Amino acid sequence: MQAVGSVVAIVAALLISFSLHRSTLKALQAQRRDASVNKLAVLFALAEKARTLIEKANTGVQDGFAGFGSREREFDSNDLRGLHEAFANVVLHELPTANTVFAVLRLKEVTRQMPDLMQQAADDRAEYGGVSPITCVDSEDLRQATNWAYMKLREECAAAEQLS
């Protein structure tokens, strides 16, 4: 009887240990999932801001800054530079998916290039009286790149929220 009791006690200890280990793993997975959802939400909010600013900048470039002066208070190149810094400081290997990494890299590059492109458009206008077609095409390309990254982050946020 004593031997049977010892074996039952050992088996019970193993089952309890396994159960505790399993519940700890589940809690860690839930914590990682929540952190991932939160990180994606922050990135998506930054992408929304970048998208709005890029749209305004592109509109200004496309119409040769006609009427842009009235909207100038709404747009500040420093906001794009700040977003560039935010995207540049994202730790890529901590992002949950490759699509998220590509979206962040794209937004980082767009927010770096657009202030320079706007300066080029302003220089074009001052020198030639209008914005060059190449500058307009480049601006539209940056707008489309921003929209792609925005859509990818929106998809990733939706997928992450479904998993939690």
Whether pLDDT at 57 is above 70: yes
- What sign has the CA pseudo-torsion 22, 25, 30, 31? positive
What is the token pair recorded at 45?
């909010």
pLDDT the model gives residue 15:
95
**b/e for 2-15, b at 16 or more Cβ within 10 A?**
eeeeeeeeeeeeee
Domain locations in the chain as residue ranges: 33-163
pLDDT tens-digit series, residues 64-118 = 876 555 445 456 788 999 999 999 999 999 998 999 999 999 999 999 999 999 8
User: Whole-angstrom Cα distance, residue 35 to residue 30?
Assistant: 9
Quote the pLDDT of residue 19.
Answer: 94
What is the arithmetic mean of pLDDT over 26-43?
89
pLDDT exceeding 90 applies to what percent of the chain? 64
Q: What is the pLDDT of residue 67?
A: 59
Q: Could you tell me the pTM of the whole model?
A: 0.79
